[in-house]
Amino acid sequence: MTEKTPAIPDDADARRAVAPVICYPTETLPRPDLDLYQRARAGAEKIAEVIVPAREAATFEVAAGQVFRITSIEGPQVGDLNLWNAADLDERFFSGKTRALHGTHVSTGARLWSSLPHLRPMATIIADTLGWYGIDGFGGSVHDVIGTRCDPYTGNLLSGAPYHHCCHSNLTRALADHLDLPLSAAERHVHDVLNVFMCTGFTRDTGQYFMKASPVRPGDYLEFFAEIDLLGALSACPGGDCSTVHSSDAAACYPMRVEVFAPQPGALGDWTPPPRNGYDGSHGR
């Protein structure tokens, strides 16, 4: 297929020079009380731990007001995170709107928002040992909400080879086992992820999604305050540190740890979970 390059208008430079505006200024977003969350976290006790095996996923439950921590333990490893309202799987993490509100990568203070029509914070990031990384010279950063998850369908399109330990399949099996559902019923609940520890961006010249070796090292962690009762699933991506390839058994992969902590009774004062979004749903009729 050949495409004709469109004619460049005389005012092309002027049009390109128009300054951008932020789509969603966040000054009016409800602010998390990070001081309260961190005070409650300081006295919290560990109540559960789950080890996610390499190239597999595992589920975990966190009650509203509790904290969960995802840790790299044996080697640099990227994790793909799904979150659901524990009582209503239709309410799930909305990667796209989280990206629109907080940017391509998230860190301390960012919130993970739920799908429409719920659109409320599901979790708030309260600690990130990779918070120092910033944006590197390639435009890369960590903990992205721009990738979707590695999946066997895209793998099939690109290589024709079936691979069953992509994050999509890992999350599907883990959710099916947790809820005792057939794989096909579980699969429809799997959604675009938060790529924990993954270092990604878009190339400046072609705008393509890129990954590079994650700066994560064993002991690094990302910690979340659960705003509502959550069911979570984390996949230890077959890409390992995502420095070379994914969707195969080629990369070195390591397990990951998820821990859940419960604050002391009363530590959160009169805090209550955020209500579902207040829009009335009438859509103008």
Of 32 and 79, nearer to Zn ion (C-beta) is 79
Of 66 and 141, nearer to Zn ion (C-beta) is 141
Tokens 């878009």 belong to which residue? 202
**What minimum distance in Å lies between the beta carbon of 284 and Zn ion?**
40
**What minimum distance in Å lies between the beta carbon of 229 and Zn ion?**
26
Of 105 and 111, nearer to Zn ion (C-beta) is 105
CB distance 236 to 72 below 8 Å: no
Contact residues for Zn ion, defined by CB under 5 A: 80, 150, 167, 237
Q: For residue 25, give Cα distances in angstroms to 29, 106, 117, 125, 194.
A: 8, 16, 21, 19, 22
φ and ψ at 246, to 5 degrees?
-135, -175
Which residues lie across from 111 on neighbouring strands? 124
Of 32 and 155, nearer to Zn ion (C-beta) is 155
**What minimum distance in Å lies between the beta carbon of 20 and Zn ion?**
31
Please state the length of the chain: 285
Distance CA(221)–CA(214), nearest Å, equals: 13
**What minimum distance in Å lies between the beta carbon of 169 and Zn ion?**
10
